[in-house]
Structure 1
Amino acid sequence: MDLSAVIENHRAALRRIVAALVAMVEMGGQFALFPGKGVAASTPAQAEKSEPSPAPGLPRHLYRAVLRLLRPAESAARRLVIVLARGVVVALPPRHARKAKPKPRPTSIFVRDGVGTGIVLPRGAPVPAHLAHLVPRKTAARPLSFPLLDPLTRWSRHRRRAVATSVPRICIAGITQHLAVPAWKPPSPDDPLDAGRLGRRLAALARALDDLPGQVKRFARWKARRDQALAAGRICRVTPLRGGRPPGGRLSRYDPDAPPGRNIRDIDEILAHAHALAHYALRPDTS
């Protein structure tokens, strides 16, 4: 088996999937994910030159559909990087002592980070026009880096809080009008969801597929830092993969001779194959 040809085929398939997801988001949200480029020209190769603009809301059903394909595509690309990084060794620069950063002084009377005293506003509350100059300006969202480690499974012993279905009513008899309890509506498939982070994740995945050698160096540096931490006796993460199925995957193992199953997509087969190759690449080299 020619491993380089297999990786290149999977990379090309992932780039086609990313291009399809970009077209879905642009047509569904009616905005340009990559400014200055049309839907037909929005390919993963263009993601390195432009960043996604602030995105309006996407319908909930479209957001979930894109996310169901984006998660396994990210997992497959992550495993291709792990396979290519087998045997790659990099030298880390010497560590420098970090300088203590001075605590920033609050520049606004609105308390958002627990520093100072002032007026606490809930997130998204409108600010009066005569106080708008006291609120610090928001900076542009930074592009996301492609994650090279699987997100760990969350284990929480705390009980989930019940969703509030109403608001408190404060009435004064004879002075204020009696307010009716607002009816709670279940989530609708057409509810708009913010797609800003979704667009940044698509751009990060597209950049990673266009620059696999750079991602390989990143992963080799992570392995070198992990080895240093283990040698020093520090607690750190040992493996980049999490146990069980990969994030977003539907196949437990890769079997090229198995008949096509129900609800099995092309990305599931690519991810299962990349997952098997990544496990083989993480084995210690005994030759």
Structure 2
Amino acid sequence: MDGTAAIERNWEALKRLLAMLVGMAEVGFGTGLGTGGQFTFFGQEDAAASRLARAEKSKLSPALTLPRHLYRAILRLLRPAEAAARRLIIAAAHGIVVVLPPVRPRKPTPAMRRGPRAFLPVGPKKRPKPALRTMSLSLLDPLRRPFRPCHRHMPAHAIPRVMSLDFGSPYRPLPPPPSPDDPIDAARLALRLEALASALDDLPGQANRFARWKARRDAAPAQEKSDADRSRRLSPLRRGCPPGGRLSRYDPSATHSRRIREVDEILAHAHALAVYALERADTS
């Protein structure tokens, strides 16, 4: 981490935004639609780990739900906050030199057994223990999928009814339209909040993590048989505007409309820092 004032200022702003998102989640979980308790976050890893361990043991996900309107409000702010944190990590990783360990040779594939023992079972396979559900902040932007099929869904209450010719069949009413207060599973949203908090709490460690990814990318051979049919990411940032952002460029002297949020300004500034750091790394 280079310790520039811009990175520190945006880092503190993201911490404040994350605290607000956690408060919104705690309010939603305490409304009766969720667990009814406090959102295990910020210094309560033991309680969160025990809850997730019990969930993995019982093959059930943690019963965390949020109202639909609150879930979408948190998600609209969480996505640009994740993109801004990712760009701060890229900017903080500039100048870090990482020495990669030597590449281990791949183990040869075992030959097929022959003879009378070919079809005998090798032995009981040990099942791996279920690991705790954890999530780390991705260092790469999700790519756009231009050829993704666009499915147009029509709400159930707007679909024309085709009555059956059997007059004796019971009438089935249409399902009600979705309500803003419908409970939505927020287990993955809670994991994303925890991942963002872990990344912001250890920004130098995340910068070293990105430096290792960049060193592995630069050390990868240009032509390799195993990578012939697999595309590799050349840049951690995708083209165009950052994910979830509403500003195309950072301009501190410009006046913005009311639809521009604080997280949009943070994301635009962090994006400019990341692009500048990547350009300096490429030219050096």
- Give the TM-score of the pair, scaled to structure 1: 0.73
Match of 1:16 in 2: 16
> Distance between the aligned counterparts of 2:207 and 2:93, measured in 1?
5
Asked if structure 2 preserves the Cα contact closer than 8 Å seen for 1:71 and 1:248, the reply is yes
Match of 1:281 in 2: 277
The alignment status of 1:77 with 2:85, answered yes or no, reads yes
CA pair 93-85 structure 1, distance change in 2 beyond 3 A:
same
Displacement of 1:215 after TM fit?
0.5
Letter in 2 for 1:59: P
Letter in 2 for 1:150: D
CA pair 66-164 structure 1, distance change in 2 beyond 3 A:
closer
Pick aligned residue for 2:98 from 90, 113, 124: 90
Asked if structure 1 preserves the Cα contact closer than 8 Å seen for 2:155 and 2:177, the reply is no
The alignment status of 1:262 with 2:236, answered yes or no, reads no
Q: How does 1:73-222 map to 2 (within 5 A)?
A: 73-96=81-104, 97=106, 139=130, 142-160=133-151, 162=153, 165=156, 178-222=169-213
Pick aligned residue for 1:253 from 249, 254, 261: 249
Deviation larger for 4-13 or 247-256? 4-13
Stretches of structure 2 that go unaligned for 5 or more consecutive residues are 31-36, 52-61, 111-126
- Per-residue CA deviation, residues 217-256 of structure 1 (Å, 9 max, x unaligned), is 1111111121133534543110000111111111000001
> Distance between the aligned counterparts of 1:98 and 1:193, measured in 2?
45
Match of 2:34 in 1: none
Aligned residues: 237
Asked if structure 2 preserves the Cα contact closer than 8 Å seen for 1:26 and 1:33, the reply is yes
Stretches of structure 1 that go unaligned for 5 or more consecutive residues are 35-41, 102-135
Q: How does 1:30-45 map to 2 (within 5 A)?
A: 30=30, 31-34=37-40, 43=42
Displacement of 1:185 after TM fit?
2.6
> Distance between the aligned counterparts of 1:250 and 1:83, measured in 2?
21
Asked if structure 2 preserves the Cα contact closer than 8 Å seen for 1:230 and 1:236, the reply is no
Asked if structure 2 preserves the Cα contact closer than 8 Å seen for 1:82 and 1:216, the reply is yes
Displacement of 1:33 after TM fit?
2.0
> Distance between the aligned counterparts of 1:180 and 1:236, measured in 2?
55
Letter in 1 for 2:179: S
Displacement of 1:146 after TM fit?
0.9
Displacement of 1:178 after TM fit?
2.0
Q: CA RMSD in A?
A: 3.1
> Distance between the aligned counterparts of 1:4 and 1:16, measured in 2?
19
Identity rate of aligned residues, in percent?
55
- Per-residue CA deviation, residues 58-92 of structure 1 (Å, 9 max, x unaligned), is 11000000011111111111000000111212122
CA pair 212-246 structure 1, distance change in 2 beyond 3 A:
same
CA pair 162-9 structure 1, distance change in 2 beyond 3 A:
closer
Q: Secondary structure at the match of 1:193?
A: strand
CA pair 12-155 structure 1, distance change in 2 beyond 3 A:
same
CA pair 15-157 structure 1, distance change in 2 beyond 3 A:
closer
